[in-house]
Chains A and B, each alone.
Chain A
């Protein structure tokens, strides 16, 4: 790479040498030595003048450019530049360039500094939010414990004596409300964890069939009590790589939901699996009131309730489905809905198939290839 300084000296050097050389040739060949001498001296003066001019131009041109380069380098490293007015030399255009860069650097540097501070603040707020949530979780759960404990004790005749029917009724009502409160606290906390991306999952290779059967076993007595037909439909018995407890939680939420939307007579809930290439699709279908097309996109939002009929009072916080969706998302799947008014609703969710046997096969292939 050639430098400006070198280029200038090369060009002006050659030029001044040519001028001097012409003068010198003229002096040798001319008959009038006096005129020849004058031309020789003046060409020598021009050459020397050119040399000094080159020196001057080169200095005034390269110094500010070098300074600019240094400052740019400094700025890109530290996002700020140090002021050094002693370096303000060179042609005025270049000085202006330097000064403008300095101004720009100062402004950008200031903005970057502000952004850094803002980022730090955000990080701090995030940490505080997490801390606050874990504190709230602790503080909300703690007082539930003595309430539940004493309720359990009151129900034990051998510990606290026999209660009359009215007292037992009252205790049962308190129990129901306390359990709802407890469920709500749990739901809010899980929703918060999903939001923060901090939901813990423990994955294992699980049989899709067993997952559905577990849900069936858990809800069969409840459905029988309510005269609801619970049906299992298994189209695949593939293995999924997922979290047993979280999937039970999803099924439990979905079936509870279905139970509150089915018709009072001839209610049917179908649960099961469908097969597709990479995933196992699970579903929970009811023959309930259905969800209007335009409302379907909202049902996975937090605290959203499809309030179609005021006659039928629904329990719940509106967190159930959003939690299910969040859990499935955390497990690497997705959840969606298909529904028609007065025909029923089906909630589907995908979970990735267990890939361990496949990977083993690939490894075997690879090892063969390498041999």
Chain B
């Protein structure tokens, strides 16, 4: 018992504020409950436009972004951020089930996005990418 308390205390020190933008509710629910259990703050948005709003109005430590979404997709969000607030780009972790060509991965890197993860992703790997970004 004391063990768990101390571990959560440790994590409390580096409690992160994460935004998840993905139209798939099962995926966002899974990731958010995992981050929640790992003692991180987590905001879920299932719509691209809302995602942009959230990024503009709130401060996040890291943003998990899906690419294929109806209406406003991940690429559009990246476009908007590149024009309006490029500093946010370095916080982004792309999480997609689509096939991202090598060229596009290179473009992401040029924009300052270092992580492009393929679904289904190992959740520990996702968490370590999130903590790496802020650490």
Contacts and interface: CB of A to CB of B under 8 A. Distances in A.
Given A137-B99, A138-B97, A145 B30 contact: yes
A171 to B, nearest CB: 14
Contacts of B37: 153, 159-160
A202 interface: yes
Interface of A: 134, 137-139, 141-150, 152-153, 158-160, 182, 200, 202
A159 B37 CA distance: 6
A33 B2 CA distance: 152
B101 A144 contact: no
Contact of B97 (A137, A147, A148, A149): A137
A145 B34 contact: no
B68 A138 contact: yes
A293 B130 CA distance: 54
A182 B123 CA distance: 16
A200 B120 CA distance: 20
Nearest to A186: B118
Contacts of A152: 122-124
| Interface SS majority for chain A | helix
Contacts of A159: 34, 37-38
Contacts of B97: 137-139, 141-142, 145
Contacts of A139: 97
Nearest to B101: A200
Nearest to A137: B99
Given A138-B98, A200-B102, A145 B27 contact: yes
Contact of A153 (B7, B34, B102, B121): B34
Among A139, A144, A150, A182, find the residue whose CB has the most chain B CB atoms closer than 10 A.
Answer: A150
B102 A145 contact: no
Interface string B96-135: 0111011000000000000000111111100000000000
Contacts of A143: 26
B31 interface: yes
Contacts of A200: 101-102
Given A142-B27, A143-B26, A146-B30, A153 B123 contact: yes
Contacts of B121: 145
A149 B7 contact: no
Contacts of B34: 149, 153, 159
Nearest to B103: A200
Nearest to A202: B102
A147 B29 CA distance: 12
B59 interface: no
Among A138, A142, A153, A182, find the residue whose CB has the most chain B CB atoms closer than 10 A.
Answer: A142
Given A146-B26, A149-B30, A141 B102 contact: no
- Which are the 9 A-B pairs with shortest beta-carbon distances? A145-B120, A141-B97, A149-B30, A144-B120, A146-B30, A146-B26, A159-B37, A145-B119, A138-B97
B4 A158 contact: yes
B3 to A, nearest CB: 8
A132 to B, nearest CB: 14
A139 B101 CA distance: 18
A3 to B, nearest CB: 61
